[in-house]
Amino acid sequence: MHIPDTMRVPRFLGDGRIVFIDKPVPQPGPGQLLLAVKANALCGSERGQFYGGSSVTPGHEAAGVVVAAGSDTSTPIGALGPVFLMDFCGRCRSCLAGATNQCFAKRADYGFTHDGGYAPFELVNENVFFAADADLTGPEAILLLDIMGTGGHCLDRLRLVRPEIESLLITGAGPIGLGVLVMAKIMLGEAVPVAITDVVPYRLDLASSLGGLPIDIAHASLPDALDSLGIPRPDAAVDTSGREAARRAAIDVLAQRGVLVCVGHGESVTLDVSRDLISTERAVVGSEYFRYDEFPRNLALLRKHRAYLSRIVTHRFPVAEIQRAFEVFFAGNTGEVVVEQ
Ligand SMILES: [Zn+2]
Ligand SMILES: [Zn+2]
């Protein structure tokens, strides 16, 4: 492939404005790969960059094809795969235990501290690239990130505390909530009922079509809705909304030994420790992104459930229309939104 010297990249100015500027195409140094980006998904965590601006090129849910490799690398040119957000050191105690999402010496968050995947080319350290199947499309490969990766990791965290789960509540049906939903259907089994709340009818309809039991909390109380679904006391809950009210409501309906996993950043929550935790032996657990070593399992699941999982991607835009893509995404009537190069 011919690699140009410069590229057009979106610059996030702030106040919800994106323009295009020229940047040099970086060259891979030792241990680095240059990817031709195929696709990058929009994420709610980019709200700060869209409204506050960004000095780097955003984009942390990218998949691309290796087009150049520096010395000391072994990934073949032409390999296709996603980029792991966190550039982990590989040597600290967390990394040696496999917890690469909790590296003590993290070098970068691609798309936040270093240029990310909304550019035509992205330079990454080789350790964060995961070579997937060459026949995957860009939008399919990025399902391995926030959708399957973050969604699956929540359930792993949950099952550390509570191995047998017979009912699940998800608060928030944005891309992460939908990701937890599809991974729950796959990992916990079709038979486990998964209730999912939101206030946006579009998202609730999508959740329903993916096998979730939708609850419109703009028009129903959570206990009443769970009651009518036959799961008044779910075994577990995952909060993807980041909202205190949602977390509090989830704890209040959890069964004894219930577990709340918090994955959506945002507000706080106040615990009545005796009632919420001690006497009921409930737990509140955090879950951040996922571990690099979860990629192979998720790739195997993606191969098996490709069509089902792909239904999460509801909107695709060429990168030239990234401004519109963000406006549509933040208006709320979408599942996963992807821009393609
Ligand atoms: Zn994200
Ligand atoms: Zn480390």
CA–centroid distance, 101 to ligand 2, in Å, is 8
Ligand nearest to the CA of 95: 2
- Name the pTM for this structure: 0.97
**31 and 110 co-located in one domain:** yes
Residue 31 is part of which domain span? 6-144+311-340
d(C-alpha 238, C-alpha 170), whole Å: 5
**50 and 103 co-located in one domain:** yes
**162 and 137 co-located in one domain:** no
Dihedral (C-alpha) 126, 129, 131, 134: value to the nearest 10 degrees?
Answer: -110
CA–centroid distance, 140 to ligand 1, in Å, is 16
CA–centroid distance, 86 to ligand 2, in Å, is 10
Q: Is residue 241 part of a domain?
A: yes
Task: At 94, give phi and psi (nearest 5°).
Answer: -60, -50
CA–centroid distance, 92 to ligand 2, in Å, is 4
**195 and 154 co-located in one domain:** yes
Residue 59 is predicted with a pLDDT of 98
User: Which residue's entry shows tokens 């849910």?
Assistant: 61
Q: Residues with Cβ < 8 Å from 130, sequence gap 6 or more?
A: 81, 82, 83, 84, 144, 292, 295, 299
Reduced to 3 states, what is the DSSP secondary structure of residue 74? coil
**258 and 140 co-located in one domain:** no
CA distances from 39 to 65, 122, 138 (A): 10, 11, 5
**191 and 229 co-located in one domain:** yes
**12 and 90 co-located in one domain:** yes
CA–centroid distance, 30 to ligand 2, in Å, is 19
Ligand nearest to the CA of 263: 1
Q: Is residue 295 part of a domain?
A: no
**115 and 202 co-located in one domain:** no
Tokens matching residue 271 = 């615990």
CA–centroid distance, 41 to ligand 1, in Å, is 8
CA–centroid distance, 5 to ligand 1, in Å, is 29
Ligand 1 is an ion; residues with CB less than 5 A from it? 43, 45, 146
- Would you give the DSSP letter of residue 26? P
Q: Is residue 13 part of a domain?
A: yes
Ligand nearest to the CA of 150: 1
Task: Give, in degrees to the nearest 5, the angle at Cα 158 between 190 and 302.
Answer: 50
Q: Is residue 300 part of a domain?
A: no
Ligand nearest to the CA of 97: 2
CA–centroid distance, 146 to ligand 1, in Å, is 6
**61 and 164 co-located in one domain:** no
Q: Is residue 303 part of a domain?
A: no
**26 and 63 co-located in one domain:** yes
CA–centroid distance, 302 to ligand 2, in Å, is 27
d(C-alpha 257, C-alpha 245), whole Å: 21
**53 and 140 co-located in one domain:** yes
CA–centroid distance, 53 to ligand 1, in Å, is 17
Residue type at 189 in one-letter notation = G
Full pLDDT tens readout for the chain, 341 residues: 789 999 999 999 999 999 999 999 999 999 999 999 999 999 999 999 999 999 999 999 999 999 999 999 999 999 999 999 999 999 999 999 999 999 999 999 999 999 999 999 999 999 999 999 999 999 999 999 999 999 999 999 999 999 999 999 999 999 999 999 999 999 999 999 999 999 999 999 999 999 999 999 999 999 999 999 999 999 999 999 999 999 999 999 999 999 999 999 999 999 999 999 999 999 999 999 999 999 999 999 999 999 999 999 999 999 999 999 999 999 999 999 999 99
Q: Are 41 and 61 in contact (CB under 8 A)?
A: yes
What's 102's domain CATH number?
Answer: 3.90.180.10
Q: Is residue 292 part of a domain?
A: no
Q: Is residue 298 part of a domain?
A: no
Residue 1 is predicted with a pLDDT of 79
Q: Percentages helix, strand, coil for the chain, rounded to the nearest 5?
A: 35, 25, 40
Ligand nearest to the CA of 111: 1
**156 and 130 co-located in one domain:** no
What's 234's domain CATH number?
Answer: 3.40.50.720
The domain tally of the chain equals 2
Q: Is residue 171 part of a domain?
A: yes
Tokens matching residue 22 = 């020229």
**DSSP per-residue codes, 126-184:** GGGB----TTS-HHHHGGGTIIIIIHHHHHHHHHHH-S--S-EEEE--SHHHHHHHHHH
Ligand nearest to the CA of 87: 2
